[in-house]
A and B are shown apart, each in its own frame.
Chain A
Amino acid sequence: MSSTNPSFDRSFSMQTRTRASSIAPIAAFFLVVILFALPFFASRSLIQDMFFILTMLVLAQFWNLLAGYGGLVSIGQQAFVGLGAYAMFGLVVLGGLDPFPAIAAGGVAALLLAVPMAYFSFKLQGAYFAIGTWVIAEVVRLLVAQWKAVGGGTGTSLPRSATGNLMFSDTIQSMLDVRAAAANDILAYWLAVILCLVTIGGIYTLLRTKLGLGLAALRDNVEAAKSVGVDAMRIKWFVFLVAALGTGLTGALIYLQKARISPDAAFSVNDWTAYVIFIVVIGGIGTIEGPIIGILVFFILQTLLADYGSWYLMTLGGLAIAVMLFAPRGLWGLVYDHTGIEIFPIRRMLVGGSQSTSD
C-alpha cells in the first residue's frame, strides 16, 4: 500500500502554476508595454483596428465567463452594449457631461438593467434562458427607439462640442503631435487596453478564488456542487451582474469612438452577440486563452473576406458549427491537447508526495 512508500511522507501542496504560466508574466509585461506605447509609432488605422480587436475581446471574455464558466448561454448581451452606449449618449447630449466620465454611467446603466433581466430570465431553464435574454434585449431596443431626445429610431451623433474637447485630448494632441480626431481614437484605444487588461486579470483572479472553484463545480455537476454547499443562485447572479457591468462599459467605450448611434446598430444581435459567440466557440469556450485565439482568427477572416459580405458571415457560422462538431473545445483545445500549454491555469493540481516524481 502507499503507506509503505517512503515518498508519501513528503507533504502535499496545491498549486495552479504551470511552466508556461511561469514564463507568461515576463512575456505579458513586454506585451503590455508594447500595447501602451503603440500610438507613439503606429498609424491611425492600426490603432482603430486594435481598438476593435480589444473591445471585441473584452465582450468575448465576458460572454465566455457567462456561458463557458457560468453555464449561462445569453443571446441578449447586445442589451448591455446598447444601453451602456445610450446611457453615455444621453448624459453627453442631454446633460452636457464629458463623454469620458459618462462611460462609467454606461456601465452602471447596464448593471441596473441586469437586475430585472436576471430576475425574468433565471425563471427559464437552459436553452429557454438563451431566448429569454434575447426577448428582453429586444424589449430594451424597442423602448430605446421610442426615446425621441436621442433621435428615436434613427439615432443621433455626439455633438461636436463634446467630441471636440474630450478630457486629456489636448495633452495627447500636444504629446503625440496629432489632430483632435486622432487624439480621440488614441484615448479610446488606451481605455480599451486598460479595460482589456483589467477584464482578463479580473476574470483570471476571480476563477482562482473560492467563488471560481464554486463556478467550476457548478459547471461540472450542479447537484453535486449544491450538495457540498455551493450557492448556485448567488453565483449565477454575481456572474450575470459582473458580465453586464463589463459589457455596458465596453458598449459605452465603443460608441464613444464611433460617435454615432442608432438603436438597430447598438442593439444588433449579430454585431454584439453572434460575433462574440463565434469568437469564443472557435477559439475555445471555457478558457481564457480561447477568446484571445478566437479574436485573432475572427480579425484575420474579416480582413480576408471583407469584400465578400454575406460569405464572411456564412464562413464564420460554418466554422463555428464545424468546431462544435469536431473540436468542441475550440482551437485552443487543440493546442492544449498537443502541447499541454496553459497560460492562464485555473485547475488545482496536487503536487508533492509520490505523484510529483512521475512528471
Chain B
Amino acid sequence: MIWVDTIIQGILLGGLYALFASGLSLVFGIMRLVNLAHGDLIVLGAYLILLVVTVLGLSPMVALVIALPAMFALGFGLQKIVLNRVLGEDILPPLLVTFGLSVVIQNALLESFSADSRRLPTGTLGTASIQMGTISVGVLPLLTFASAVLVIIVLNQIFYRTSLGRAFRATSDDATTASLMGIKPGNIFAAATGLAMTIVTIAALYLGMRANFDPAIGPARLIYAFEAVIIGGLGSLWGTLAGGVIIGVAQTVGAAINPEWQILAGHLAFLAVLLIRPRGLFPRAVD
C-alpha cells in the first residue's frame, strides 16, 4: 500500500514538472529557442509573488493578479529587446545569451534576497488532505496537477482555436511567409515568450507553496523541465505532462528506496528513455 501512495505522490509531483516544462516546450515549439534561464525565471517568479505577498499582505493566489501581467510584460520585453536579436540559424548566440541571463538572474536574486530559503505562506491549504480509502492525498499537490492539466488544455485551445494560435503555428512553420500575410514575427515571438512567462508564474506559485526555494535552485528546475520535454517528445504538450509524471514517479520511488537517490533516479529514468526512444514517447515535431 505504501507503494501505491509513493506512486500517487510521484504522479502529482509530475504535474509540477509539467508546469515547469510547458513554457519551455511552448517557446521551443514556436521559435526553436531553448531558454537556459527558464529555471531561474521560475525562481524569479516565486520571489516576485513573495514580494507582492509581503508588501501588500495578499495571499499567494491573489498575488497572481499582479504577478501574472508583470511576468508577461517581462517575457514580452525580454524577447522583443534581447532574444529576437539572436534568433537565427546559429544556435550558439541564443544559448550563450540565455546562459548569461541565468547567471545574472541568480546573482541579482542573491544580492536582493540573500541566500536564505524562503517559502510562500499557504495557510490551511498546505496541510489539507483528502482521504481516498486508505490513502490520503494532499490538496495542494492535487491542485498543482489539476493546474497543469488546465494549462495544457488552455494552451491547446489557444494553439488550435484562436487567431493568435494560428499566427504561432504559421510563424513556427515559416516566419518569412507568415510575415507576407501581415504577421510580425518579432511580436509573435514576444507574445509567445510572454505567454510562457505566465505559465512560469503559475509554476512558481506552486513551487513556492510546496517547498522552500532559494536563488540557486533554478538550474535544477530547468533540468527537470528539459527532461520532461524530451521524454514526452518535442512538440507534444500532453507528452510533456507524461514526461513530467515519469520524472516525478522515478524521483519518489527512488527517494522511497534511499533518500539520497531521489534526484539521481529521475535522471536515470530520463537516460533510459533516451536510450530506448531517442525522440521521446510521443514525438510530433521533426527536430
A residues near B (Cβ < 8 Å) are 67, 71, 73, 75, 120, 123-128, 130-132, 134-136, 138-139, 142-143, 145-146, 269-270, 274, 277-278, 281, 285, 310-311, 313-314, 316-318, 320-321, 324-325, 328
Chain A binder among B11-19, B63-71, B152-160, B265-273: B265-273
Of chain B, the residue at the smallest CB distance from A325 is B85
Contact A142 B264 (CB under 8 A): yes
B residues in contact with A274, CB < 8 Å = 99, 103
Complex Cα distance, B104 from A179, in Å, reads: 42
The reply on B172 being an interface residue by CB < 8 A is no
A interface: dominant SS: helix
Task: With a 10 A CB-CB cut-off, give which of A67, A146, A317 has the most chain B CB atoms.
Answer: A317
Q: What is the CB-to-nearest-CB distance from A301 to chain B, in angstroms, rounded to a whole number? A: 14
The reply on B97 being an interface residue by CB < 8 A is yes
Contact B34 A311 (CB under 8 A): no
Of chain A, the residue at the smallest CB distance from B104 is A317
Q: What is the CB-to-nearest-CB distance from A74 to chain B, in angstroms, rounded to a whole number? A: 11
Complex Cα distance, B91 from A67, in Å, reads: 11
B residues near A (Cβ < 8 Å) are 28, 32-34, 36, 82, 85-86, 91-97, 99-104, 106-108, 110-111, 219, 222-223, 226-227, 230, 260, 263-264, 267-268, 270-271, 274-275, 278, 287
Complex Cα distance, B100 from A270, in Å, reads: 11
Determine which of B86, B92, B107 lies in contact with A67 in the assembled complex, contact meaning CB atoms within 8 Å: B92
Complex Cα distance, B82 from A325, in Å, reads: 8
Asked if A318 meets B100 with Cβ closer than 8 Å, knowing A127-B34, A130-B34, the reply is yes
Contact A123 B97 (CB under 8 A): no
Q: What is the CB-to-nearest-CB distance from A311 to chain B, in angstroms, rounded to a whole number? A: 7
Q: What is the CB-to-nearest-CB distance from B215 to chain A, in angstroms, rounded to a whole number? A: 9
B residues in contact with A73, CB < 8 Å = 91-92, 95-96
Contact A126 B91 (CB under 8 A): yes
Complex Cα distance, B97 from A328, in Å, reads: 10
Contact B86 A139 (CB under 8 A): no
Determine which of A146, A269, A320 lies in contact with B219 in the assembled complex, contact meaning CB atoms within 8 Å: A269
B residues in contact with A126, CB < 8 Å = 34, 91, 287
Q: What is the CB-to-nearest-CB distance from B29 to chain A, in angstroms, rounded to a whole number? A: 13
Determine which of A128, A142, A316 lies in contact with B267 in the assembled complex, contact meaning CB atoms within 8 Å: A142
Contact A277 B96 (CB under 8 A): yes
Q: List 23 A-B residue pairs with CB atoms under 8 Å apart, sorted by A's residue number.
A: A73-B96, A123-B278, A127-B34, A127-B94, A131-B222, A131-B226, A134-B223, A135-B226, A139-B267, A142-B263, A145-B260, A274-B103, A278-B100, A281-B96, A310-B111, A311-B111, A314-B108, A314-B111, A317-B100, A317-B101, A321-B82, A325-B82, A325-B85
B residues in contact with A136, CB < 8 Å = 271
B residues in contact with A139, CB < 8 Å = 264, 267-268, 271
Contact A313 B34 (CB under 8 A): no
Asked if A311 meets B92 with Cβ closer than 8 Å, knowing A128-B34, A143-B264, the reply is no
